[in-house]
Amino acid sequence: MSRSKLDHPFAEAPPAGHVLAVAPGIRWIRMPLPFALDHINLWALDDGEDGLTLVDSG
């Protein structure tokens, strides 16, 4: 059985509580949690006006 390797476009995830711009209008937020599940990934998308849409992909 062959397994393909998962390629990540970024060498490192942003530190917990920090934001990384991944493309124009798209930001990756690594939100720390005080549980065994120690973080979640959130995505902030510019809405083209003065706001953002926050996406919890979990």
- Condensed to tens digits (0 to 9), the pLDDT of residues 27-56 reads 999 999 999 999 999 999 998 888 999 999
- Is the overall model pTM greater than 0.85, yes or no? no
- What is the predicted pLDDT for the residue at 2? 66
DSSP string for residues in the chain: ---PPPPPSSSSPPPTT-EEEEETTEEEEEEE-SSSS-EEEEEEEE-SSS-EEEEE--
- Tell me the average pLDDT across 10-37: 92
Query: Who has greater pLDDT, 4 or 43?
Result: 43
Report how far apart, in Å, the C-alpha atoms of 29 and of each of 2, 3, 40, 51, 56 are: 33, 29, 8, 16, 10
- What is the predicted pLDDT for the residue at 1? 61
